[in-house]
Chain A
Amino acid sequence: MTSVETSVTAGSGDDRSRRSPDQPTPDGDRRSRRTPDGRRTRRRTVPLRARLRRDWPLLAMAAPAALLLLVFHYLPTLGNVIAFQDYNPWVGDNAFEAFVYSEWIGFGNFETLFRDPGFWDAVVNTLTITAFQLVFFFPLPILLAILLHSIMSTRVRGFIQSVVYLPHFFSWVLVVTFFMQMLGGAGLLAQRMRDAGLDPLNVMGNPDTFIVLVTAESVWKDVGWGAIIFLAALSAIDQNLYEAAAADGAGRWRRLWHITLPGLRPVIVLLLILRLGDALTVGFEQFILQREAVGRQAAEVLDTYVYYQAIIPQQWGMGAAAGLFKGVIGLVLIIAANKFAHRLGEQGVYSR
């Protein structure tokens, strides 16, 4: 728990302890809480009741949001136990009774799931798309940020930034619609090709090139947005390094390689870890929207699998098993990637 906490405050340079007036610590020095032999002394001087009287407004403020998370995040998380049940929503009067009366079947749902070739197809599709996007999408925001950073004119830069950020705020329905209108069978490109007497190209319905299409859509939507964080990291690089390197005779590319990229490394590692943790999530709406156009074999990812194989036919236990599988793998991946980043001397998502 300390670890997650530090990630938020790390680097904020904000280590002031905030005293409130009725806290009876005259020096306010947090370190004085521990005596040399390590026992806590000071903290006990503010009794729980006094702290409660002092801090109840803060607790009350955090309570509604915490309640929402408990109901809509942690309750479903606990609800995953129905992965080990033959969950039947009709056996009780409400969802809770149904849970109590449903039969426990151990790993039965997982067995059904793992025996279904459709599930493994979805896993393979998901991982293929993740790998493809890691190679063909992940580096692009970095390149774009470097490119944008090199523009001298604030005005031009601001304009380009605004334009490339914009699609991030469009829904997937809109993005797919735009692609359909431009590249689809009745879209602008096909229209022009037909006018020119060519055989029109239908990019939208071709399962073989689906992965390219999906990546192109992701790039269109998010490449600009992804560049923001790298732009911030770029402007934090000490300019004297560049000047010193130039004085030492390093050309443009050497400076890029030896100063810019190392300067970006922590951010790159951080985003890579996050991406790996999400290896089984490739975006949901994008696939559900195009699944019928290209067919199941190309567009079925884990999330759409759960939707079509569990929610629509109401196979709750099996769907929960698939979700649990995904959640656990994601958690394991992110922890492993973070450990690995620490091994490499990077800060990672959270420090130890």
Chain B
Amino acid sequence: MSIARTLTAGRRPRLDPVNQPPRGRRPGVGRPVWEEPPSPVGQGVKGLVLATMVLAVIFPLWSVLVTSLASRETINATGGMVVIPREIDLSAYVNIFSGGQISRAVWVSTLVTVVGTTFSLVLTVLAAYGLSRKDSLAHRPLLFLFLLTFLIYPGMVPSYLVVTGLGLKNSLWALILPTAISVFNLVVIRAFFMNVPAELIDAARIDGAGEFRILWRIMLPLSRAVIAVVGLFYAVGYWNAYFNAVLYIDDNDKWPIQRVLQSYILAGQSPSVTGAPVNIPGVTAYPPTLAVKMAVVVITVLPAVVIFPFVQRHFTKGVITGAIKG
């Protein structure tokens, strides 16, 4: 173990080719001498386009947030969505978290996201490592089994029959198991593992490390970035799970937040959006105010917006390599 440990000890060594300085123009270094100076018109158009795009994303988020914090009077005065905040009124959030359907849905979604992400990450990392050795037994047929899923579409009806046939109807596992393995994510992680120098692994093996120890002590520390990104992908997938909930979860008490958002907000506006009967115990008694609706939207957006900045810097590093190779 000692050689390998020395190699990985301390600061992270520059091993993966991805982290080497980029070829080509380094951003921030400036305009090369041969390039002509920018035209004011071109710059203006460019700025306008990009500013529009940024606004198009930020403005709805802003407006929803402000409306969720507005009082009933402000909402009535503006006739609906609020753009300019006047005061901060947390009653909508108090209303939501005082129990009932939405609190339950937040809990269900959190549970599914945490359990599902852990489950998926563990299985994906294990499989990615298991498939990362090119000369191992049955490597090619196994890899083929995984990659073939890209080309084959199993179909909604047989999938539905399998999931319900396994007795997963109305079980939260129906939101986790069918989507637990993303072969794309697996290929991304595998590509990273394959870029770890063979010498490092050989050294560890000479020191007596088994496969599990190599994975835990060498592979994982070296590919933290990509695993964080893949973890985010899985987490987002679980948090956003909507359609599987429509298919498999009939029980209102087990609805995840997206399902509640849909029936509560979207269907609330045009009563029959799903075609499924909408019946939310404890909430139907008093019609939700716009502020409460927007508060649900804010809660649904929140995890993505909060986690995103921490993982975002790894995107280009982590994902592109895998994406291009995959």
Interface residues of A (CB under 8 A from B): 1, 4-5, 7-14, 16-21, 23, 48, 51-52, 54-55, 57-66, 68-80, 82, 89, 94-96, 144, 147-148, 150-154, 157, 159-160, 162-167, 169-174, 176-178, 180-182, 184-188, 191, 194-195, 205, 220, 223-224, 228-229, 231-233, 235-239, 242-243, 246-247, 251-252, 267, 281, 284-285, 288-293, 303, 306-308, 310-312, 316, 319-320, 322-324, 326-327, 330-331, 334
11 contacts between A and B (CB under 8 A): A9-B194, A11-B324, A73-B154, A171-B242, A172-B242, A174-B300, A186-B269, A187-B81, A243-B34, A289-B273, A310-B157
The 6 closest A-B pairs by CB, nearest first: A323-B155, A79-B158, A95-B165, A62-B130, A61-B130, A171-B240
CA distance A55 to B139 in the complex (A): 10
Contact A320 B155, CB 8 Å, known A162-B312, A247-B34:
yes
Interface residues of B (CB under 8 A from A): 17, 22-25, 27-28, 30-32, 34-36, 46, 49-50, 53-54, 56-61, 63-64, 78-81, 83, 123-124, 126-127, 129-131, 133-138, 140-149, 151-166, 177-178, 180-181, 183, 186-187, 190-191, 194-195, 198, 201-202, 205-206, 210-212, 215, 232, 236, 239-240, 242-243, 246-247, 258, 261-262, 265-266, 269-270, 272-275, 294, 297, 300-301, 304-305, 308-309, 312, 315-316, 319-320, 323-326
Closest to B153 in A: A327
Min CB distance A16 to B, Å, is 5
Contact A55 B57, CB 8 Å, known A5-B143, A10-B325, A12-B191:
no
CA distance A292 to B239 in the complex (A): 25
CA distance A32 to B149 in the complex (A): 34
Closest to B262 in A: A173
On chain A, the residues within 8 Å of B127 by CB distance are 61-62, 64-66
CA distance A324 to B159 in the complex (A): 12
Which one of A78, A178, A194, A284 has the greatest number of beta carbons of chain B within 10 Å?
A: A178
Q: Is the CB of A157 within 8 A of B301?
A: no
Closest to A171 in B: B240
Q: Is the CB of B148 within 8 A of A4?
A: yes
Q: Is the CB of B275 within 8 A of A160?
A: no
On chain B, the residues within 8 Å of A19 by CB distance are 135, 198, 202
On chain B, the residues within 8 Å of A205 by CB distance are 270
Q: Is the CB of B211 within 8 A of A73?
A: no
Closest to B273 in A: A292
Closest to A95 in B: B165
